[in-house]
Amino acid sequence: MARSSRLPSLDAPRGRSGIISRNPKPSQDRFGRFSEAFARGMGTSGFLIGMTVFVVVWLAWNTFMPPAWQFDPRATNFTLLTLILSLQASYAAPLILLAQNRQDDRDRVQIVQDRQRAERNLADTEYLAREIVALRLAVKDFHDEVVTKDALRSELRQLLDRLDEREGREPEAPRAREERR
């Protein structure tokens, strides 16, 4: 059964057909990544040094070589070099702006995510604070029933004294008990 060419291919991403077309459309993201790479490359010292070397060689060639070998003579004020640099600048500026806009979009998304994370942290902190207050109130209500270290120690001393009396021994003084430890 032949498949209609109008139906979308389910095995290819949206916007692309499963068949290789003669005029593929580049994705917006690919062009955006290219513009960011271009802008990143233009901001490096290597690019600036390379561009400086290129211009110096161009100027030296077209100044010191015999007139027959010069392709952009000094007499015409290096018109070709001026056009090349203008063309490069006219493409560089929009690509740099596009890369900056993409970075701004990423920053906006990051700010929204940070705000949501801060709101969740605040809600968690408030919840934990309410739980701590509830625990403090619960402990305060049962404070009379909580055994303290001193109360437990005195109960144990009384039990030891009773045991000593049953065995027929004299109850030890508290100091003697402390020294045995």
Amino acid present at 172: E
Count of all residues that appear for the chain in the document: 181
Residue-range domain boundaries for the chain: 28-141, 145-174
Q: Say what the pLDDT of residue 115 is.
A: 96
Which stretch of 1-10, 71-80, 89-98, 104-113 has the lowest confidence by average pLDDT? 1-10
The DSSP secondary-structure symbol of 7 reads: S
Q: Say what the pLDDT of residue 81 is.
A: 93
Q: Say what the pLDDT of residue 9 is.
A: 58
The 10 Å CB-count burial string (b at 16+, else e) for 1-29 is: eeeeeeeeeeeeeeeeeeeeeeeeeeeee
The token duo for 85 is 């640099």
Q: Would you place residue 74 in the very low, low, confident or very high pLDDT band (cuts 50, 70, 90)?
A: confident
Cα distances (Å, whole numbers) of residue 85 to 89, 91, 105: 6, 10, 30
Q: Say what the pLDDT of residue 144 is.
A: 64
CA pair distance 116, 114, nearest whole angstrom: 5
Residue 103 has pLDDT above 80, yes or no: yes
pTM, to two decimals: 0.46
